[in-house]
Structure 1
Amino acid sequence: MIHEIDEALRRLLTPAVTGDVAFDAPTRDWAARRNAPTLNAYLYDIREDVARRERGAYAEWDAQGIVTRRRQPPRWFRLSYLVTAWTSRPEDEHRLLSGAMALLLPHEVLPRDAVPESVRPIATSLPISVAVPPAESRSLADIWSALGGELKPSLDVVITTPFPVTPVYEVAPPVTEGEIVVRGIGGAPAASRPRMIRRPVIKETGESKEEESGSAVAGSRDGGGDT
């Protein structure tokens, strides 16, 4: 999933640079090997967006509207990228960053055609934020110190994406046939012999008479004689 978000971000940033869009850690060694204008989008933080967490399983339906399985809801994660420009002159780097901002700022969500196909069954829009101050627990200066490089102008780009969660529970086939169970007195199963079902029939005279609709007498009257 993460590599697909990488590719979506690459597609957004590519028009801003004549060189390359890289995802390497911008260390001193990497900077020394660079030989063309480059926009670097370094993924430096992955955190769950706990405000989006859902509870309970949800159903998946087939084309006939039948529930085929149930799965846990996806978990959403915030992927934070440190976007920097690398050229031989600071002015050109600033120009690259301006081009990146011009491409990213119009979007509050990823364009529909940039959303990875694996994500589309879950969500068709993925939030994206640009240059929003990071959380207090994260300091860009600390990130540069960890990379062993000097502090450079950068854009903090955050894309929030769902991640599927297992397990998936298969659902039994739907019930298509019913069964009538006849109970005797006190709820005990009735005898195995056929049972007579009676229903009231209203004659023209207004009197009510029970009509026999079963194939055999169920023993509700023993002896069969009238008194």
Structure 2
Amino acid sequence: MIHEVDEALQGLLGESALAASGVEIVFDAPTRDWAARRNAPTVCVFLYDIREDVTRRGSGAGEVHDADGYVVARRTPPRWFELTYLVTAWASRPQDEHRMLSQLLACLTATDALPPRLLTGTLAALGLTVDLDTAGTGLDAPAASDVWSALGGELKASLGVRVRAPLAGVSRPTAAPVTEGLVVRSAARRPSVDPVPGRRLRYEEVDDPGPEGFAGPRERLPAPARRHRGGRQP
């Protein structure tokens, strides 16, 4: 699921004006060594926090159907996770970086959810909305200053982007649907006695199910009258 969110974010940012100007989009950790090796305008989308949204955890199991409508598996509900990214712009001049950040901000704030056309794999199969929150005040994640300190670099202007994405549940295949009736045959213990013909369960006056089994024609008897309380007939 995480790599599918990365691909969707890369596709979203690639549709902005940054892609036309030759800006590279990477998902590397912006460490001091990485910054020293950078030699071209770059947008870095660094994933630094993953945590589950327990308020959206469900229970039970859903049914998975095939093309004919039969139930082929049962799947547990998806579990939702919040992926928090640190988005930064890298160029030779601060003015160029701020211009790139401005374009990123305009692109990301205009999108409340990742477009379905950019979703792949399990995200596309689930068909659920993948929310996107940019520069929000309620980001429950480590502060940007703590992230920069852990990376060993200097504090830099950045955008906090949080994606709420579902992780597909576990699917367990079910047994194949029953297509034939149950027939009981009894055999004598002594070889000299002929075996009793097969008898169909739950149906009266049927000695042999025949070659067609339950698919064959049969006579249905009228249902018995229901008794009222007290044992009297209606």
- Is the TM-score greater than 0.5? yes
TM-score by length of 2: 0.72
2:12 — aligned with what? 12
Q: SS of the residue aligned with 2:125?
A: coil
User: Are 2:49 and 2:141, in contact at CA under 8 Å, matched by a contact in 1?
Assistant: no
User: Are 1:16 and 1:96, in contact at CA under 8 Å, matched by a contact in 2?
Assistant: no
Shift of 1:5: 1.4
2:61 — aligned with what? 57
Superposed, 1:47-126 pairs within 5 Å as: 47-126=51-130
Aligned residues: 188
Q: What's the CA shift string for 1:102-139, capped at 9, x where partnerless?
A: 11111111012111233212124311110012545621
Change (3 A) 1:16 1:151: farther
Q: Which amino acid is the alignment partner of residue 143 of structure 2?
A: S
User: Are 2:24 and 2:42, in contact at CA under 8 Å, matched by a contact in 1?
Assistant: yes
2:3 — aligned with what? 3
Is residue 155 of structure 1 aligned with residue 168 of structure 2? no
Q: What's the CA shift string for 1:133-171, capped at 9, x where partnerless?
A: 2545621111111011111111111111111233x3221
Higher Rg of the two aligned structures: 1
User: Are 1:13 and 1:103, in contact at CA under 8 Å, matched by a contact in 2?
Assistant: yes
Shift of 1:196: 7.6
Q: Which amino acid is the alignment partner of residue 63 of structure 1?
A: A
Structure 1: 5+ residue stretches without partners:
182-191, 198-212, 215-227
CA RMSD of aligned residues (A): 2.6
2:229 — aligned with what? none
2:176 — aligned with what? 173
Q: Which amino acid is the alignment partner of residue 86 of structure 1?
A: W
In 2, distance between residues paired with 1:136 and 1:196? 68
User: Are 1:123 and 1:162, in contact at CA under 8 Å, matched by a contact in 2?
Assistant: no
Shift of 1:16: 3.9
Q: Which shows bigger deviation, 113-122 or 142-151?
A: 113-122
In 1, distance between residues paired with 2:140 and 2:27? 24
In 1, distance between residues paired with 2:17 and 2:97? 11
Q: Which amino acid is the alignment partner of residue 95 of structure 1?
A: R
Q: Which shows bigger deviation, 71-80 or 172-181?
A: 172-181
User: Are 1:39 and 1:83, in contact at CA under 8 Å, matched by a contact in 2?
Assistant: yes
Change (3 A) 1:57 1:124: closer
Q: Detail structure 1 runs of 4+ shifted over 6 Å in the superposition.
A: 192-197
Structure 2: 5+ residue stretches without partners:
185-195, 206-219, 222-234
Q: Which amino acid is the alignment partner of residue 37 of structure 2?
A: R
Change (3 A) 1:137 1:23: closer
User: Are 1:130 and 1:157, in contact at CA under 8 Å, matched by a contact in 2?
Assistant: yes
User: Are 2:109 and 2:134, in contact at CA under 8 Å, matched by a contact in 1?
Assistant: yes
2:135 — aligned with what? 131
User: Are 2:42 and 2:90, in contact at CA under 8 Å, matched by a contact in 1?
Assistant: yes
1:22 — aligned with what? 26
User: Are 2:27 and 2:44, in contact at CA under 8 Å, matched by a contact in 1?
Assistant: yes
The percent identity for this pair of structures is 49
TM-score by length of 1: 0.74
Change (3 A) 1:7 1:196: closer
